Structure 1
Amino acid sequence: MGVRNQTGVVEFVFLGFSGIPNSHFYLFLPFLAIYLVTVLGNLMIFTLIQLDSSLQSPMYYFLSHLSCLDICISSVTVPKILVNFLYQRETITYNQCMAQMYFLVSFTGTEAALLGVMAYDRYAAICKPLHYSRLMNTKLCATLAFSTWIWGFLNAVIHSALSSRLHFCGLNQIHHIFCDIPPLTKISCNDVHINQLAARIASIFVGMAPFLFTILSYIFILSSILKIHSTTGKRKAFSTCASHLTVVIIYFGNALLNYNRPSAGYSLETDTLISTMYCIITPMLNPLIYSLRNKEVKGALKKVLESQRKVYMGSYKQ
């Protein structure tokens, strides 16, 4: 009753898939496949980094954190979507909605900061190669990585506290596919200026700042690469940055569309597509990008598969 009196609703209804006929029937298997590829792909990257000694470097240490984040982001949203498809009822309770929003904001904020840290790592490796081992020592890498997690969770605490004060006055239809800050403030019936101000400030410090830092890092990186006389050296330097830069463009591009698009002018279907790209498709693409474009990752995968094949053949002969 306390929750009911505070919010006016005890559950929310998602309208994101309402414009797709028979969405429960047609979308369950694709979303299940995306989720399995996301979890297995990122788990593969994480396991390879832990097992292969050639991947014990700062770049891959941060990549292992990125893989964990991608699993977390996907797990916050997709399982609930799959359950709703199975029961053919697009609902979520108030408490589940608040929890989903909190963890989603935490993990996405952490990933934005982590991508900025990974950009600094590439800058140190290419622009300061003689000082790289000192600049990116083990203690600093661990501090930077876990600081991004703390940063993300602290940012989410602020938004969750503000969202818990919202009143919905019986309005429980969310024009979205999961609980997030913009769709919740949109259906609130009380003053949301503080929530919107906090969201704008967060978009600057949590979203724009890491993006601009990443762009600035790559300006210095590009300048250093162009000074390399060897064509092979240039190609190797570019290859070490290509995967990360691709992930940065996809992630921040989708984040910009998801959180900074105009409140009017977008259809519900477009909103659903943008949200799906940001929180569901992007975590699936990251391991594919790093595994397909990275020779060291592909080499480590081949070694692990070969060792497993030898173990299997040995046990089979016995």
Structure 2
Amino acid sequence: MGRVTQRAPSTRVEVLEDGGVRTTSRPDTLAVEEPLEIRVAGHPVTVTMRTPGDDFDLTLGNLLTEGVVTKAVEVAQLMHCLDEDESGSPTYNVVDVTLAPGVVPDLDRTARSGYQSSACGVCGKTSVDAITATSPYAVADDPVRLSPAVVAGLPDRLRERQKVFDRTGGLHAAGIFTAEGEPLVVREDVGRHNAVDKVVGWAGREGLLPLTGHVLVVSGRASFELVQKAVMAGIPALVAVSAPSSLAVQLATESGLTLVGFTRPPRMTVYAGGYRLGL
């Protein structure tokens, strides 16, 4: 449990000027990818491909950002099921969730599967309305103001803490930062949505939700689902290294979230909520 890398044989190929090749065989370090099944009271809710580690934070964050529960205190217990692989060794790839007495989860949201992945066929205005209607927090009311100089430097501060990426080159990262640019938590995962769920789950366990006055920073693009997760966690700003999608911009605009993409100092592109940066 918690193993995030493994070694595998590989062949490095260099194409020479004459069209020939030079090869070097050596072991390479890879990011581990394994399935995690989330169950609520024994009922399968979802399966996500993730990098092992911080599984409880990932589970709690997923339940919160997908709207299955609305508050971290609604989850009473998280535990790994003792599932086994073909050799009889435990995999720790199933987490079972026990809810607090009286809590009724919204399992219909996960049954729809619309918000689990950007490849799941979420459709336009209906999805935006669903998120803005069900989020327990109004990020549009967050009065935080951000310094453009601080925001432009956030991806570098995130990159400094991507320790597994340094070894593998194969992981996304997400971090929660203060408005002054100080990191609260950074997590890595093969899935960008999982990395976000891990930091939101951590914040839930620490009693920090909603994350008023904070910034979510992600190492890749800003998809609809990442904006959704920020809104569901009460985060007023999302800063991405790469581009946003059209639906991400639409959701950010309608929910009052500040959305910044292509953030590579000294430049960035603001797509929504520019007033928080004095624009």
Q: Aligning the two structures, in what range does the TM-score lie when normalised by the shorter sequence?
A: under 0.3
- Larger % of strand: which? 2
Relative contact order higher in (CA < 8 Å, ≥ 6 apart): 1
Rg larger in 1 or in 2? Answer: 1
Q: TM-score, normalised by structure 1?
A: 0.19
- Larger % of helix: which? 1
